[in-house]
Amino acid sequence: MRGASQAKWVVAAVAVALAATACGSSSSDGASSGPANAQGTFSYQSSEPQNPLQPANAMEVGGGRVIKNLFKGLVDYDPSNGQLRNQVADKIETTDAQNYTVTLKSGWTFHDGTPVTAQSFVDAWNWSANTKNNQINSDWFSDIQGYDAVHPDKGDPTAETMSGLKVVDDTHFTIALTGPVSYFEYKLGYTAFSPLPKVFYTDPAKYGQSPIGNGPYKFVSWEHNKAITLAAYGNYAGVDKPKNGGIVFKNYAQPEAAYKDLVSDNLDVLDQVDPSDLASYKNDLGDRAVDQPQGAIQNISFSLYQDSWKGQDKAKVRQGLSMAIDRDTITKTVLNGSRQPANSWVAPGAMGYKDNTCGEACTYDPAKAKQLVTEGGGVPGNKITVLYNADGGHKEWVDAVCNSIRQATGVECVGDPKPDFKSARDLVKNKKVDGLMRTGWVQDYPLNANFLRDVYGTGAAANDAGYSSPEFDKLAAEADKATTVEKTAELYQQAEAQLAKDMPSIPLWYYKTTAGYSKNVQNVKYDSFGDPVFTQVEVKQK
């Protein structure tokens, strides 16, 4: 995306794509129905963050949703209509989609009272990109000139700062990219691009346990494996000031337990109803039940770094296993119609979504599935496992997928549950998975590039499969160089077609937000990312 006067039409076009996925229909509009307590706090279903609470160190919802509320970057997306909106940025200007000038608004402060300046952004991005600091989202800065010096493929950094970032004064800085990226402003809404206060650099590890941000909420406490508590920040300068006094992110080991607490009003806001309660949740919650589209997809990925999945013939095996899955039946029965069968790697609503890019490989055909698995040489020991986190409500559908594969191909398939999300993600990120793994993806920005380059590009932080295709990378690079976001989206469709040939993962279904809230709160709405609009939740007066 671009922000200069000549490029405003690009931003408008992107806004259409965003609006298409934002705040879809539900059985309740979340509207206020009575007096609210502006100081009241509410609880939200969550999980233990995988990493310390540093903006560039979260790629999962347990930490990501907390960080979203602690920090605010240059831009974000208006949850009411999906349009890109400025937050700390007053304006972001470019004439070529490669060189940007950022002007900040005055008056923004961190939670310790220190001002947010251009230096706050530039220092944070340089630190987060540096390979020595081991930030999981460091590759989000790879478009910036000088990234290769602070984050070389091998060896130590040869610089501490990226040459493409220059501070002009307290409210201005410039960004130079290695080439045009038509949707760069799009990416700036991701939390990895948040600013950091000076105190961060004195002890980043300690800071990660008690962070100081600039967002609508400030950190109060972190009781590990139990809860994280945030309080509304009174001097917050953003356009989305909290209508409540704070949030308690409560950990749940089992989603069924969270749902029971919601029904009994011991939990206030739920992100997803577990499969076993999908059939009854609308009756249980009435107008507090939510059912709307979400920009997310559920995949299972192959551990392509293992010898058992290497070799071109194994693509046939992967395609065969995909064809062995009866998506229609599983989504209608096990998931009670709460998901839409997937036939592409990009979720509907994202700009560049194209129906059926997976083609035959995502069509249920038991005979062809067995044929392809056999032609590809099968799998070692004729057995596969699917790793998943047991605290996420995945057991039912994993068992159903395995049963479908077993019946269609004769390959033994079993679930491999880990107790919680953090445990599962640690194994996935450390490339210690022997078979398949659950790899759901919620959009960071609603463009097909986010579902493709950020997940399947060689070395991408979210590339859990270890997939590496010179052809895919070439097509993605060509898409990135396009000077309009429409052309970028079109070219990324060609890159997606390569995934159908290589099958690094199996698209299963597109998510919907099937959620709900308690009688203690009102004005609860969800955005296209599947998140409640935290700042707008109102706590009812008692």
20: pLDDT strictly greater than 50: no
217: left (phi over 0), alpha (psi -120 to 50) or beta: beta
| Identity of residue 254 | Q
Give pLDDT tens digits for 35-54: 999 999 999 999 999 999 99
Domain with CATH 3.10.105.10 in the chain: 294-512
**Residue-wise pLDDT tens digits, 316-367:** 999 999 999 999 999 999 999 999 999 999 999 899 999 999 999 999 999 9
The pLDDT of residue 83 is: 76
For residue 129, pLDDT beyond 80: yes
CA distances in angstroms from 206 to 59, 175, 325, listed in the order given: 20, 30, 46
Q: Look at 528 and 283; give whichever has higher pLDDT.
A: 283
pLDDT of residue 164: 98
Distance CA(154)–CA(143), nearest Å, equals: 18
Residue 9 pLDDT greater than 80, yes or no: no
Q: What is the DSSP string of 13-70?
A: HHHHHHHHHSS---S------S-B-TT-EEEEEE---SS-S-TTS--SHHHHHHHHHH
Rounded to an integer, what distance in angstroms lies between the CA atom of residue 239 and that of residue 236?
A: 9
Amino acid identity, position 243: K
pLDDT tens digits for range 491-506: 999 999 999 999 999 9
As a whole number of angstroms, the distance between CA 164 and CA 398 comes to 45
CB neighbour class for 381 (10 Å; exposed up to 12, middle 13-18, buried from 19): exposed
Q: Where residue 401 falls among pLDDT bands split at 50, 70, 90? A: very high
pLDDT at 29: 57
Burial of 135 from C-beta contacts in 10 A (0-12 / 13-18 / 19+): buried
CA distance linking residue 504 with residue 527, whole number of Å: 29
For residue 218, what are the CA distances in angstroms to 67, 68, 119, 224, 534?
10, 11, 21, 17, 13
CATH classification code of 294-512: 3.10.105.10
CATH 3.90.76.10 positions along the chain are 71-198
Dig out the tokens for 426 from the structure. Answer: 């640690």
Q: Which residue carries 């045009």 as its tokens? A: 180
pLDDT at 85 over 50: yes
Structure tokens at 125: 């991005």
pLDDT greater than 90 at residue 312: no
pLDDT above 70: residue 17:
no
pLDDT at 19 exceeding the cut of 80 = no
Choices 3.90.76.10, 3.30.950.10, 3.40.718.10, 3.40.50.920: CATH for 71-198: 3.90.76.10
The residue among 289, 375, 345, 363 whose CA lies nearest residue 463 is 345
Please check the confidence at residue 529 and state whether its pLDDT lies above 90. no
- Distance between CA 321 and CA 537 in Å, rounded? 43
Average pLDDT of the segment spanning 390-405: 94
Closest to 120 in 3D by CA, of 4, 212, 242, 237: 212
Distance CA 170, CA 116 (A): 8
Of residues 77 and 108, more confidence is placed in 108
pLDDT at 392: 83
Please give the share of the chain, as a percent, with pLDDT higher than 90: 84
- CA 337 to chain centroid: 23
pLDDT of residue 528: 84
